Chains A and B, each alone.
Chain A
Amino acid sequence: MLATLADWLGGCCLVAGALLSLVAGIGVLRFPDTLSRMHAATKPQTLGVLLLVAGVALRLRTSADLAMVGLVAVFQLATAPVAAQMIGRAAYRSGRVDRALLDVDELQ
């Protein structure tokens, strides 16, 4: 009974995580400039991976797998913003910013 419930919950998490990752991909493709694209690459993408990881954990349910899956979640949370920041900074410093789309720029 409990196992079935966990399986179903895990399945839902997997589908939701996959959809979010898909939307993140669409966002990266469709947003007008690099900085906006990084928004898509951090938020829906991170939540997508976390949901996928939760789904996997709910279906596998062994301690070794749970530890590994927990590590994936921790490193995803820690590294996604750093990667986005590095790319964003590189894009800004090399002038790949669409000024027509910026209301204010206090970094100048």
Chain B
Amino acid sequence: MSRDGTTATTETGAPGPAGRWRDRLVAFGWLVLLWNLLWGEFTWGNLLAGALVAGAVLLFFPLPPVTFGGRLRPRALLVFLLRFAGELITASVHVSRIAVRPGYLPRSAILAVRLRVRTDLNLALTAEVVSLVPGTLIIDVDREAGVLYVHVLDVHGPSDLTAGRDRILAVERRIVRAIGTAAEVRLVEAAAVEKGTPP
């Protein structure tokens, strides 16, 4: 896409007709693959039925245009996936420990966190991942302003609040590094330097 490397970074993405068709084609291919995987085997019948179902789904339930404008960076993607797996395990242990500790009443907080990259794709991915990593859960999203409202579990003081905020921004940074455009990466890197947090 031509959007890569341009200065406009935070628009919600209005791809041209070619981009729309590419997106539809990708969605179509994925749906056909899904249908075949669900039946457990690839046959001509399954391919044909999958194509029909995929066509119907795309025709009757059109998705809002969310275009992937960046590029995949395999190394950053690997870092993201490893950190995600690690944090999912830490989060599970953390919540499990609170769940079985006798007579413990966890306190919590609701934070508003403004993301730096406001594309729909980034908002959705960050929201998904944030719900699965330690201590945080999405409650509400302000799509226009790019703000996530996050519930933080097990708060002991102000330091836990800043830690929660930093963790969410770190998740965003890792996602943008893995799949964002060059301009978006510069944006999150600049914010990281400004705040003095290590990369």
Contact = CB atoms under 8 A, between A and B. Distances in A.
A binds B: yes
B151 A40 contact: no
B145 interface: no
Contacts, number: 129
Nearest to B124: A82
B163 interface: no
A101 to B, nearest CB: 5
B138 A81 contact: yes
Chain B: interface size category: 35 or more
Contacts of B134: 43
Interface in A37-86: 38-40, 42-44, 46-48, 64-65, 67-68, 70-71, 77-78, 80-82, 84-85
Among A27, A36, A71, A82: residue with most chain B CB under 10 A: A36
B155 A103 contact: yes
Given A27-B98, A88-B139, A102-B108, A77 B41 contact: no
B139 A107 contact: yes
B132 interface: yes
Contacts of B137: 35, 38-39, 42, 81, 84-85, 88
Given A101-B106, A103-B108, 7 more contacts: A26-B99, A30-B99, A35-B151, A44-B95, A47-B92, A67-B40, A92-B140
